[in-house]
Amino acid sequence: MLIAQISDPHIRPRGRLYQGVVDSNAQLAAAVRQLNALSPAPDLVLLSGDVVDEGRADEYAMAREILGGLHAPLVALPGNHDDRDAFRAAFAADGFLPAEGPLHLVVEDKGPVRVVGLDVTVPGAHHGMVDDAAASWLDATLAASPHRPTLVMLHHPPFESGIPYIDIYRCLGADRLAAVIARHPQVERITCGHIHRHMQMRFAGTLLVTAPSTTTAIALRPEPGAEPASFLEPPALLLHHWRPGTGLITHLLPVGIFPGPWPFA
């Protein structure tokens, strides 16, 4: 099973640039083209939040237009830049979101890997939170299928990266989340967005990874008092490849057209 993950496209209304600098709409469209060209094709595409930049209806309309070009099925979670109600309305017809409350999701039918999405956004705030209700939902959802390999998706990563200006907006309640994950060894991966960089670490007995943004990279400045900054680094996405006997391997795939292929390896 091949699961692709894109994150943090920060879509703007038609003709508008992200932060007045980057054509985030064109960047997402390039990622869609690359996903459609993959062989084998992904069984599922995950979008781990910050679909749009300001939670506006015209931004969601633009996002749906671009994402409508995907050949593979898509599921998405909101991020801190999304508006929960507008997000729910934008993706309601796809059938993967609940009609009310937090936008948790479960994907059971795309292959051997079960995907569980946990909405940790806090409406009106930029940090995330795993509260008691979210932890209870996750615990019950994981307990319902204890023998299937599972990928858990959040927007905010539940750790301090060392980059001070993004860590203040991390997911709080990490101990609560870790206690749940540790009870369910079928969780092969936790994957997040938000941080606009690829990182990996051990977490609660499994592996946690973050996806880069398709738009900009938050500057890697792991020092106290560092000034916030971003760069237009090459955009990228993640591919989570599951095989029997091997488990889940996560690959980083740059988005773009590069020299090659040449006949050597």
Q: How many CB atoms lie within 10 A of CB 57?
A: 13
Mean of pLDDT values over 68-75: 98
Q: Please state, rounded to an integer, the average pLDDT across all residues of the chain.
A: 97
Cα distance between residue 178 and residue 208, in whole Å: 11
pLDDT score for 241: 98
What's the confidence (pLDDT) of residue 262? 97
pTM (2 d.p.): 0.97
Name the DSSP class of 228.
P
Tell me: domain 2-254, CATH 3.40.50.620, correct? no
Q: Which residues are 107's β-sheet partners?
A: 115
| Segment holding 86, helix H or strand E | helix 84-91
pLDDT at 198: 98
Give the residue-averaged pLDDT of 253-264.
Answer: 95
Question: pLDDT at position 91, please?
Answer: 97
The conformation of residue 16, written as its DSSP 8-state character, comes to P
- pLDDT computed for residue 244 by the predictor: 95
Confidence of residue 20 (pLDDT cuts 50, 70, 90): very high
Residue 67 to residue 28: CA distance in whole angstroms: 8
Q: What's the rounded Cα separation, in Å, for the pair 87 and 25? A: 17
What digits encode the pLDDT tens for the residues 168-204? Answer: 999 999 999 999 999 999 999 999 999 999 999 999 9
Q: What is the DSSP string of 32-62?
A: HHHHHH-SSPPSEEEEES--BSS--HHHHHH
Per-residue confidence (pLDDT) for residue 217, from 0 to 100 = 98
Contact 225, 168 (CB under 8 A): no
Task: Determine the average pLDDT of the residues in 133-151.
Answer: 98
Residue 216's pLDDT band (boundaries 50, 70, 90)?
Answer: very high
